[in-house]
A and B are shown apart, each in its own frame.
Chain A
Amino acid sequence: MPETRNSGNGSNGNGIRVGVYVCHCGTNIAGTIDVKAVSEYAAGVPGVVVSRDYKYMCSDPGQALIQQDVREYDLNRVVVASCSPLLHEPTFRRAIDRAGLNPFLLQMVNIREHDSWVHLDKQAATAKAKDLIRAAVRRVALHKPLQKRRVPINPNVLVVGGGIAGIHAALTLAEAGKHVYLVEREPTIGGHMAKFDKTFPTLDCAACILTPKMTTVGSHPRITLWTYSEVMKVSGYVGNYRVQVKRKPRYIIEDLCLGCQECITACVYKEGKTPDEFNLGLSKRKPVYLPFPQAVPQKVVIDPETCIEFKSRKCKKTCVEACGERQAIDFTQKETLEEIDVGAVVLATGFRSFDAARNAYYGYGRYRNVYTSLEVERLINAAGPTGGEIVLRDGKRPQAVGIVHCVGSRDANTNRWCSKVCCMYSLKLAHLIKERTGAEVYNFYIDMRTPGKGYEEFYDRLLDEGVHFVRGRVAEVSDWAARSSEEGKLIIRVEDTLAAFVRRIPVDMVVLSVGLEPQADAQAVRRMFNISCSSEGWFLERHPKLAPVSTFTEGVYIAGACQGPKDIPDSVAQAGAAAAEAMALIDSQFVELEPYTAFITEEECSGCKSCIPLCPYQAISFAEEKKRAAINEVLCKGCGTCVAACPSGSIHQNFFEDEEIFEEIEGVLAYA
């Protein structure tokens, strides 16, 4: 089984007996580094009792090799030179643990990602491997047997964001018996999906499939639904997060409001004057309003910016009158701060649409009949501002409509990525517009991206329905006419790349298929939860292929469009996955934390207090009676900043002791 084995130089006199294992990783390492020479060299380093090289150390036989040696050679330290510790440190720690050796008596050496994969000069790569292993052997001699800390896990879960992903995650968790806090910024849950009319490719009514889930969330005994609320602060660690949530005042006592909406009818404003956010400004609402008819919770909201009572304190308050005995309106309501303890967090904060005004050449904001796709969704929706009629601003039906794909996406000037859903929703809009208005519909696309189940078939259907497809990126939407037939129209100028000429197509209405972007406050949110964002601003998953819903911060999961543009089925799938992973964490009852904590050797502490303000987690306190600093092991996250700062050297860090690091430094620099 073993490839080569070298008798080591023998223990170094301190009773330290090290086993060194050099992995070939097939040809990944062995192709560049002379693994046999390295293993032979390691055998000669003081303290090394046995040194081997093997094809795949992480495999079962590879691990068995180590375990056998631990027993046979009475090893008390192990060095594995292979891939990145971020990949297999846990694997090898478990392996030696099973052989009866404390898992922290292992040091891994990265000779793949940091060596064989990045250097062309084989001699230099081999020399580097030797240096690194020599350093590891010197360092591992000082490793102490450490114990992972076990902390109990709070079984509650926080879900941030009440769109379809957040809703699905919350329901899955609640059904499994967990208590869920669902925090949503808007006065109602439902997210973007609540605004859609139909969903592709089945043309299911969005509200019909969404509202049952919303209602279940609203009435589920294990879900605490806090709408019109935002997370303000997060502290703690996996299994034990303390979260501060700000609840904004609706000026309505939620428990008393029946959602009858008499107050809205009775409001002194005879008609709405404020642009309605849900209808994207296409209609107006009153200061007291219900976001949309199927809002959950079915409670009204009063907007203090536009309500007369807040401005002048002299309103007749006909709303209060209309509410009558229920007395659900309370103008004195204040914002409250709630603190909750949860074990895991699922972030499902969704996306933001690309602001079409950024592409000035498409005329959004300049020409009245240029709409964004979301605005057209509201027009199409029967509960929308036009009662489901697709009409121009002057109320007339359009005779020709142009749908422009990739607005803001696939563009070096704005967003480079493809937003994944726009081709499909553009096809959906094309179908609905043609069906309702009989207009000539043109779709202007770069590529037609229809990868899901039933998507390509939906596209075929559109081709049969007589929708025109022009392959070309629209260069400009303008209103200047080159001939009389173009007067009064919006002209779309585009190169028809399949027909190989530039076309001017006059239409009445232009629909801009805007792409998806991260939310405006994504950076602020991710800092609060201590996760990272990718360079484009989406929340960063632990691994793009194998771990799409977990993050590098244990206990924090991500689901839905906040992780990257995706459609509803994928958002729901991710939400289920995130819920499952959160459940797995919670059901294991205890979480084991890395023991990389700092500790103070009391006798050596001089009481100078330099360390105290350095800790961002306030883990260091000053014990007045003893006049010494003390570290709370539970709060310490193991960054080591205080360790480096302590003038007397009385603070130490487990696994990253000064002595260990010095040995490593001196080890890499000592000559072979």
Chain B
Amino acid sequence: MKYAYYPGCSLRGTGRAYEESLLAVFRSLEIEAQELDDWNCCGATTYLSVDELTSYALAARNLALAERERMDIIAPCAACYLVLNKTQRYIRDYPDIKTVVSRALTAIGLEYRDRVRVRHPLDVFLNDIGVKAIAAKVVKPLKGLKVAPYYGCQIVRPYATFDDQRNPTTMDRLLEACGATVIPYTLKTRCCGGSQKGTLPEVGLDLIRYLITEAQKNGADVIATVCPLCQFNLECFQKEASGQLRDAQFRRDPLSIPVLYFTQLMALALGAPGVTIGMERSLVPIEPVLAAKEIAYA
């Protein structure tokens, strides 16, 4: 079946590696995904706090476009995924919102009849393709690579549609299918702070520090994420977060761990050369880690 691929703004910006690796995985698994024509920004969390109704209408435009093509949407960015889902539910549950959105869509010649599903790539890979099929296509098993599976909050809260809300395991199983060792990670759904790093840095850095410390404590070589903002937070402020280690007894070596998108690891396992899936752009280099585990990079 064909899916409508909705990249969202971040996958064209800082999250470029997510798109590169995601498309590589689509190719390897022969998933027919076509970019949603003329998609617009979903508004993410920001616009919702500015003007709710308009935000739903904006997001709904993408739903209507996909519905017109009769395709389900794959939304890799966790924020887009949540906003699109939320928009669907609110239109369903609140007639007032439905009225406003319908009017807005009608004005641009579209309609939305709640016939489209919004899917996350994790969901599609596990439930539509299956662990067995994926394992069969692995050419570079990530043997010995210890991964901390970090889901973040938006794909499980408030809606946990395809996985358990407190202890999701979809990513765990996909990474294991690629041969990696998934470490137990209690904080797998703990918030990374989101925009707090910008607005309340002392809070944001603390949250980042907990996540990285816990991953390193459990022996992780790399953290796998599903959200561009999580990836950004965890990767880019490791030195700063280290400076947060106030408790001398608790001081470890400065936090330093590669943070990748789960699709980058999957694409690597499925045979894509590291340089085509954005791995060379990691601030904390992944090549030495892979080399130590004798996993081919190229």
Q: Do chains A and B touch in the complex (CB under 8 A)?
A: yes
Is A478 within 8 A of B186, CB to CB?
yes
In the assembled complex, the Cα of A479 lies from the Cα of B164 at a distance in Å of: 20
* Contact string against B for A residues 345-362, beta-carbon threshold 8 Å, 1 for contact and 0 otherwise: 000000000000000110
| B90 interfacial by beta-carbon distance below 8 Å | no
Chain B residues lying within 8 Å of A479, measured Cβ to Cβ, are: 186
Is B214 within 8 A of A360, CB to CB?
no
Is B210 within 8 A of A482, CB to CB?
yes
| A484 interfacial by beta-carbon distance below 8 Å | yes
Is A480 within 8 A of B166, CB to CB?
no
Expressed in whole angstroms, the minimum distance between the Cβ of A396 and any Cβ of chain B is 22
| B167 interfacial by beta-carbon distance below 8 Å | yes
Is A480 within 8 A of B187, CB to CB?
yes
In the assembled complex, the Cα of A281 lies from the Cα of B110 at a distance in Å of: 62
Is A483 within 8 A of B247, CB to CB?
yes
**Of B167, B187, B210, B250, which one neighbours A360 at CB under 8 angstroms?**
B167
In the assembled complex, the Cα of A481 lies from the Cα of B166 at a distance in Å of: 19
| B249 interfacial by beta-carbon distance below 8 Å | yes
* Contact string against A for B residues 175-192, beta-carbon threshold 8 Å, 1 for contact and 0 otherwise: 000000000001100000
Is B166 within 8 A of A361, CB to CB?
yes
Is B250 within 8 A of A480, CB to CB?
no
Expressed in whole angstroms, the minimum distance between the Cβ of B236 and any Cβ of chain A is 22
**Of B164, B167, B214, B247, which one neighbours A480 at CB under 8 angstroms?**
B214
**Of A360, A482, A483, A484, which one neighbours B166 at CB under 8 angstroms?**
A360
Chain B residues lying within 8 Å of A361, measured Cβ to Cβ, are: 166
In the assembled complex, the Cα of A479 lies from the Cα of B217 at a distance in Å of: 12
Residue of A nearest to B251 (CB): A484
**Of A360, A482, A484, which one neighbours B249 at CB under 8 angstroms?**
A484
Residue of A nearest to B190 (CB): A480
Q: Could you tell me which residues of chain B, from 245 to 294, have a CB within 8 Å of some CB in chain A?
A: 247, 249-250
Whether A484 contacts B247 in the complex (CB less than 8 A), given A360-B167, A361-B166, comes out as yes
Chain A residues lying within 8 Å of B166, measured Cβ to Cβ, are: 360-361
Chain A residues lying within 8 Å of B186, measured Cβ to Cβ, are: 478-480
Q: Could you tell me which residues of chain B, from 163 to 217, have a CB within 8 Å of some CB in chain A?
A: 164, 166-167, 186-187, 210, 214
Expressed in whole angstroms, the minimum distance between the Cβ of B184 and any Cβ of chain A is 9
In the assembled complex, the Cα of A481 lies from the Cα of B210 at a distance in Å of: 8
Expressed in whole angstroms, the minimum distance between the Cβ of A235 and any Cβ of chain B is 46
In the assembled complex, the Cα of A360 lies from the Cα of B163 at a distance in Å of: 14
Expressed in whole angstroms, the minimum distance between the Cβ of A520 and any Cβ of chain B is 24
* Contact string against B for A residues 472-512, beta-carbon threshold 8 Å, 1 for contact and 0 otherwise: 00000011111110000000000000000000000000000
Is B250 within 8 A of A484, CB to CB?
yes
Is B249 within 8 A of A480, CB to CB?
no
Expressed in whole angstroms, the minimum distance between the Cβ of B78 and any Cβ of chain A is 21
Expressed in whole angstroms, the minimum distance between the Cβ of B244 and any Cβ of chain A is 11
In the assembled complex, the Cα of A381 lies from the Cα of B93 at a distance in Å of: 53
Q: Could you tell me which residues of chain A, from 98 to 154, have a CB within 8 Å of some CB in chain B?
A: none
Chain A residues lying within 8 Å of B247, measured Cβ to Cβ, are: 483-484
Chain A residues lying within 8 Å of B250, measured Cβ to Cβ, are: 481, 483-484
Expressed in whole angstroms, the minimum distance between the Cβ of B9 and any Cβ of chain A is 33
Expressed in whole angstroms, the minimum distance between the Cβ of A368 and any Cβ of chain B is 14
Chain A residues lying within 8 Å of B167, measured Cβ to Cβ, are: 360
Q: Could you tell me which residues of chain A, from 284 to 299, have a CB within 8 Å of some CB in chain B?
A: none
Expressed in whole angstroms, the minimum distance between the Cβ of B85 and any Cβ of chain A is 20
Chain B residues lying within 8 Å of A478, measured Cβ to Cβ, are: 186
Chain B residues lying within 8 Å of A481, measured Cβ to Cβ, are: 250
* Contact string against A for B residues 56-91, beta-carbon threshold 8 Å, 1 for contact and 0 otherwise: 000000000000000000000000000000000000
Expressed in whole angstroms, the minimum distance between the Cβ of B170 and any Cβ of chain A is 16
In the assembled complex, the Cα of A597 lies from the Cα of B209 at a distance in Å of: 77
* Contact string against B for A residues 635-667, beta-carbon threshold 8 Å, 1 for contact and 0 otherwise: 000000000000000000000000000000000
In the assembled complex, the Cα of A478 lies from the Cα of B166 at a distance in Å of: 12
In the assembled complex, the Cα of A478 lies from the Cα of B214 at a distance in Å of: 12
In the assembled complex, the Cα of A361 lies from the Cα of B186 at a distance in Å of: 10
In the assembled complex, the Cα of A480 lies from the Cα of B164 at a distance in Å of: 20
Q: Could you tell me which residues of chain A, from 29 to 51, have a CB within 8 Å of some CB in chain B?
A: none
In the assembled complex, the Cα of A481 lies from the Cα of B187 at a distance in Å of: 11
Expressed in whole angstroms, the minimum distance between the Cβ of B196 and any Cβ of chain A is 15
Residue of B nearest to A359 (CB): B166
In the assembled complex, the Cα of A483 lies from the Cα of B214 at a distance in Å of: 11
Chain B residues lying within 8 Å of A483, measured Cβ to Cβ, are: 247, 250
**Residue of A479, A480, A481, A482 most packed against chain B (CB within 10 A):** A480
Chain A residues lying within 8 Å of B214, measured Cβ to Cβ, are: 480
Chain B residues lying within 8 Å of A360, measured Cβ to Cβ, are: 164, 166-167
Chain B residues lying within 8 Å of A482, measured Cβ to Cβ, are: 210
Expressed in whole angstroms, the minimum distance between the Cβ of B179 and any Cβ of chain A is 26
* Contact string against A for B residues 133-149, beta-carbon threshold 8 Å, 1 for contact and 0 otherwise: 00000000000000000
Chain A residues lying within 8 Å of B210, measured Cβ to Cβ, are: 480, 482
Expressed in whole angstroms, the minimum distance between the Cβ of B157 and any Cβ of chain A is 13
Residue of B nearest to A360 (CB): B166
Expressed in whole angstroms, the minimum distance between the Cβ of B116 and any Cβ of chain A is 29
In the assembled complex, the Cα of A375 lies from the Cα of B114 at a distance in Å of: 50
In the assembled complex, the Cα of A360 lies from the Cα of B166 at a distance in Å of: 8
Expressed in whole angstroms, the minimum distance between the Cβ of B188 and any Cβ of chain A is 11
Q: Could you tell me which residues of chain A, from 363 to 416, have a CB within 8 Å of some CB in chain B?
A: none
Can you offer 17 A-B residue contacts whose CB atoms are under 8 A? A360-B164, A360-B166, A360-B167, A361-B166, A478-B186, A479-B186, A480-B186, A480-B187, A480-B210, A480-B214, A481-B250, A482-B210, A483-B247, A483-B250, A484-B247, A484-B249, A484-B250
Contact surface of A with B, Cβ cutoff 8 Å: 360-361, 478-484
Query: Can you add 6 more A-B contacts, CB < 8 Å, to A360-B166, A483-B247?
Result: A479-B186, A480-B186, A480-B210, A481-B250, A482-B210, A484-B250
